[in-house]
Amino acid sequence: MILFTNTETWPRRDIFKMMRALLLVGFGLLLSSPLLGQQNRFKYAERLYSGGVYADAAEAYEDVLERGVDSNRVAVQITDSYDQSGNDEKALEWYAYKKRTATLTKTDCMRYSILLGTKGKYDEARSILVESQNRFGIDSLTSYRLKELDKFR
């Protein structure tokens, strides 16, 4: 008993549908694999950061950035990682980035100012603290630090 009248075209059509479906799935996997790699590397960097392994975390965050992740997403952690690991030059670069993007916190302003002071950039350090006072209000630590910086004028 024949169920299909046109047996020649039915299997061929099915094979083409299946091939198209497999190609779409394969294409989707190709597109998603770099994203999975980025996410895994970002999670690895976060684990290092949380564990206090700041120098390695900074390297991992740099790798994440090279893979195309938005730098605003990692700016907080990479800045802190460089600062905590003693890589002052890189920390200063990232504090400058955060200043340009207006994402400096009150603590960032203090740390940025201290690092600038260690490099002899007293006027710039002072301007960061003045900006901090304007944005976050006056506190005793900032006032004290400003008085200390005034000694170098």
The yes-or-no verdict on residue 132 having pLDDT over 90 is: yes
pLDDT digits (tens, 9 = 90+) for 83-99: 999 999 999 999 999 99
pLDDT digits (tens, 9 = 90+) for 61-74: 999 888 887 788 78
Banded model confidence at residue 25, pLDDT cuts 50, 70, 90: low
The yes-or-no verdict on residue 43 having pLDDT over 50 is: yes
- How far, CA to CA in Å, does 104 sit from each of 53, 55, 72, 132, 143? 23, 21, 12, 9, 18
Residues 6+ apart with CB under 8 A from 34: 67
Mean pLDDT comparison of 6-10, 73-77, 145-149, highest-scoring range: 145-149
Residues 6+ apart with CB under 8 A from 71: 65, 97
Give me the pLDDT at residue 30, please: 45
Give me the pLDDT at residue 32, please: 43
The yes-or-no verdict on residue 52 having pLDDT over 90 is: yes
Helices and strands in the chain, H and E counts: 7, 0
- Average pLDDT score over residue span 37-44: 78
Smallest Cα–Cα separation from 54: which of 81, 91, 90, 94? 81
For residue 50 the two structure tokens come to 């949380």
Per cent of the chain over pLDDT 70 is 75
Give me the pLDDT at residue 12, please: 61
Mean pLDDT, the chain, rounded, equals: 83
pLDDT digits (tens, 9 = 90+) for 101-120: 999 999 999 999 999 999 99
